[in-house]
Structure 1
Amino acid sequence: MTGKRSHDDDANTETRRGLLRAAAGATVAGAASTAGCLAVSTPASVSAQYEVSGNVAHFVGPGWLADNRDDVVVLDARGAEQFRRERIYGARHVPFDAIAARESTDGGAVPDADAIAAAFGEIGVAPDDDVLVYGASVGSRVTRVAFALAAVGHEGAVNVLNGGVSGWNGRLGTGSRDRVAATDYDPDPAPSTWVDREWLAERVGTFNGDGPGLVDTRVPEAYLAAAGSDALNDDHDRHGHLPGAVDVHWVGNVSGRRMTDPGRLVRLYEVEAELDRDETVVVYGDDNVDPTSTWLTLKAIGFEDVRLYDGGFGEWANVDGDRGRYPVETATNVVVETEGSVGGGDGGGDFSCTG
């Protein structure tokens, strides 16, 4: 595959890359310096390992939240039972099904801005609120909430908590949530955050060449249409991927409960996947939740124009009518290997000295 990046990157791009790589080292060093002895883990040291420094957007650590707690609306993206059992004090539970809602248009499925805005309004979020989203980790439920806010044109800042609730050592709440007065959320849809099926169909044959970057965020077995694989969705009429797409499984963005080392992410997407941070990049998956992890990760490391195909491969593979306009490819494959794991448990650390 031939990328569009020039070997003569400008000085600003090089500076951004340097800052990101420096931030990765600083974060690791900072976390390592917090423990008093090798066998001790305290709430403070657990919290410290999730701090974020350097030129990384949208991801913040527990220290940032402690400093800004009174100035942000905190949203919990986990399931209702997890929320009731334990949550950051004062957090509001996100109605997840509503913020993943889609509507059908002549061009294909797109985010349902009215339904999404109504869901945020129901929990008292106003368009100009600064928002902090957290979950059990920085997995795709969290990033879908961030995307949904962007899709309805949210005016306030949107950040996500690195490490999730396990890294928070501040006040916690339990039980049923306190009622928050609903507000009217008048959406200002931002079509620049997504593309539809027809937008993609018009550009088939140009992806990752003369046109936009295109990233398939599914597991390689689904991308490759591996015969007999459990990764193949039985509901799909066709298997494979959009022509020209490069496969980078979204789990590579996450290391346990935190974002992957920023320097590693820069290498993964700019060097190995050969994406151009200054050009449009589209991400898609089987649905419209998991690929939002890649959407936010690319924005966090400085990509200028990142968009989600909200209809996903499920829409593309099962489209009615002339399927020649919506081809599925299996012969040409570019898979970028990733390493990652998503921590989903709610347990904290061991807060005693054991040796």
Structure 2
Amino acid sequence: MTGDRSNDDADTETRRGLLRAAAGATVAGATGTAGCLGVTTPADVAARSEVSGNVGHFVGPGWLAENRDETVVLDARDAKLFREERVYGARRVPLDALAARESTDEGDAPDADAIAAAFGEAGVAPDDDVLVYGASVGSRVTRVAFALAAVGHEGSIRVLNGGLSGWNGRLGTGSRDRVPPTDYEPDPAPSTWVTREWLADRVGTFNGDGPGLVDVRVPEAYLAAAGADALNDDHDRHGHLPGAIDVHWVGNVAGRRMTDPGRLVRLYEVEAELDRSETVVVYGDDNVDPTSTWLTLKAIGFEDVRLYDGGFGEWANVEGDRGRYPVETATNGVLETDGSVGGDDGGGDFSCTG
């Protein structure tokens, strides 16, 4: 299977035209302001989660049903939910291991060895075609997808739109059957992330002459709103990287599905004025939530999207000459988003139980 790699090589201009017109790229039944699904029958739920048109990485239950035998299915939820009910044959991967970082002279970066070891323990081979699912398409799921890309995974990487609730096929329960581990040798892909020093070298150019920069946190954190619960007490400084625009990541998710792709194109390309042909960097307080925006941008055709894996936590607390790592609180741009994350796949107060 060529999977996402063939999608990436598809006719780029056709994709751009269709997406800009918000035509030919729809997620059945999804809207940018939807909350949790109104469930009728399993078939109805599955149908709402189907994906069509020029959308990369996200697939519906129908695709999984057709390709189940050739696909390694990874469950991004916690161990308790995994034991209660899961896609039959799925393997659970631990989020903590896949979010592991290592300290380098340039700043924090994904710990490729730790991440690869976690995939190897789950029996994943570098050339396996992989589908990841959770309770929804929240940031737990997208962190797994990013981790695969960061270690240079050779097979395709897909996410199940609608999460487990959209799957109406065979289910499994209890402890998983033991899958023999593999020796997963990472081939780190540094083009998927940036470091603190990479950003420091470009301060003053973001969303101008240099890369696009998106802060995925809530506006209160971006603006360092005094007394806001969103402010992290562990940070020495509050605000955002100079020049960053704020687009809260929950706007990517409509309940358990991805937001309508046409709306996402308008949000990021028209309202945020990001250039899909240029480098775009996303960051948050940590290295989990921003992966939602990382994968969303790639799915709607952005060509070079990277994650600041150290996150604002590293930037705000850096030691030494902080003049090289400035923080500002002025409003460069806060874009309002509507969204809600179903299940336990991230989103904090924005979650609904579904």
Give the TM-score normalised by the residue count of structure 1. Answer: 0.90
Q: Which amino acid aligns with 1:282?
A: V
Q: Which amino acid aligns with 1:311?
A: G
| Structure 1 partner of 2:282 | 283
Deviation of residue 21 (structure 1)? Answer: 2.9
Deviation of residue 223 (structure 1)? Answer: 0.1
Larger Rg belongs to: 1
Q: Which amino acid aligns with 1:267?
A: R
Question: What SS does the corresponding residue of 1:148 show, helix, strand or coil?
Answer: helix
| Structure 2 partner of 1:171 | 170
2:15–2:301 Cα contact (<8 Å) kept: no
1:103-118 to structure 2, matched below 5 A, reads: 103-118=102-117
Aligned-partner Cα distance in 2 for 1:85–1:145: 21
1:265-280 to structure 2, matched below 5 A, reads: 265-280=264-279
Question: What SS does the corresponding residue of 1:28 show, helix, strand or coil?
Answer: coil
Number of residues of Structure 1 aligned to a counterpart in Structure 2? 330
> Gaps (5+ residues) in structure 1?
1-9, 30-38, 350-355
Q: Which amino acid aligns with 1:194?
A: W
Q: Which amino acid aligns with 1:125?
A: V
| Structure 2 partner of 1:181 | 180
| Structure 2 partner of 1:17 | 19
Cα distance per residue 1:140-199 (max 9 Å; x no partner)? 000000000000000000000000000101110001111000000000000000000000
Aligned-partner Cα distance in 2 for 1:11–1:109: 36
Give the TM-score normalised by the residue count of structure 2. Answer: 0.90
Cα distance per residue 1:303-331 (max 9 Å; x no partner)? 00000000000000000000000000112
| Structure 2 partner of 1:150 | 149
| Structure 2 partner of 1:215 | 214
| Structure 1 partner of 2:337 | 338
Deviation of residue 43 (structure 1)? Answer: 1.2
| Structure 2 partner of 1:35 | none
Aligned-partner Cα distance in 1 for 2:150–2:199: 18
| Structure 1 partner of 2:203 | 204
Distance of aligned partners of 1:18 and 1:207 in 2 relative to their CA distance in 1, 3 Å threshold? closer
Q: Which amino acid aligns with 1:255?
A: A
Cα distance per residue 1:195-246 (max 9 Å; x no partner)? 0000000000000000000000000000000000000000000000000000
Percent same amino acid among aligned pairs?
A: 82
Q: Which amino acid aligns with 1:165?
A: L
| Structure 1 partner of 2:58 | 59
1:134–1:165 Cα contact (<8 Å) kept: yes
- Aligned-residue CA RMSD in angstroms? 1.9
Aligned-partner Cα distance in 1 for 2:168–2:25: 23
Distance of aligned partners of 1:12 and 1:44 in 2 relative to their CA distance in 1, 3 Å threshold? closer
Deviation of residue 27 (structure 1)? Answer: 2.5
| Structure 1 partner of 2:8 | none
Deviation of residue 125 (structure 1)? Answer: 0.1
Cα distance per residue 1:9-54 (max 9 Å; x no partner)? x965752425753322x7239xxxxxxxxx9922111110000000
| Structure 2 partner of 1:33 | none
Question: What SS does the corresponding residue of 2:51 show, helix, strand or coil?
Answer: coil
Deviation of residue 110 (structure 1)? Answer: 0.1
Q: Which amino acid aligns with 2:56?
A: A
Distance of aligned partners of 1:272 and 1:174 in 2 relative to their CA distance in 1, 3 Å threshold? same
Aligned-partner Cα distance in 2 for 1:321–1:82: 44
| Structure 1 partner of 2:84 | 85
Stretch deviating more after TM superposition (338-347 or 55-64): 338-347
| Structure 2 partner of 1:32 | none
Question: What SS does the corresponding residue of 1:132 show, helix, strand or coil?
Answer: strand
Aligned-partner Cα distance in 2 for 1:345–1:101: 20
Stretch deviating more after TM superposition (279-288 or 15-24): 15-24
Q: Which amino acid aligns with 1:28?
A: G
Distance of aligned partners of 1:105 and 1:59 in 2 relative to their CA distance in 1, 3 Å threshold? same
Aligned-partner Cα distance in 2 for 1:130–1:212: 31
Aligned-partner Cα distance in 2 for 1:339–1:278: 26
Deviation of residue 95 (structure 1)? Answer: 1.5
Question: What SS does the corresponding residue of 1:282 show, helix, strand or coil?
Answer: strand
Aligned-partner Cα distance in 1 for 2:266–2:152: 30
Deviation of residue 65 (structure 1)? Answer: 0.2
Distance of aligned partners of 1:84 and 1:320 in 2 relative to their CA distance in 1, 3 Å threshold? same
1:218–1:285 Cα contact (<8 Å) kept: yes
1:19–1:54 Cα contact (<8 Å) kept: no
Distance of aligned partners of 1:107 and 1:122 in 2 relative to their CA distance in 1, 3 Å threshold? same
1:20–1:56 Cα contact (<8 Å) kept: no
Distance of aligned partners of 1:12 and 1:210 in 2 relative to their CA distance in 1, 3 Å threshold? farther
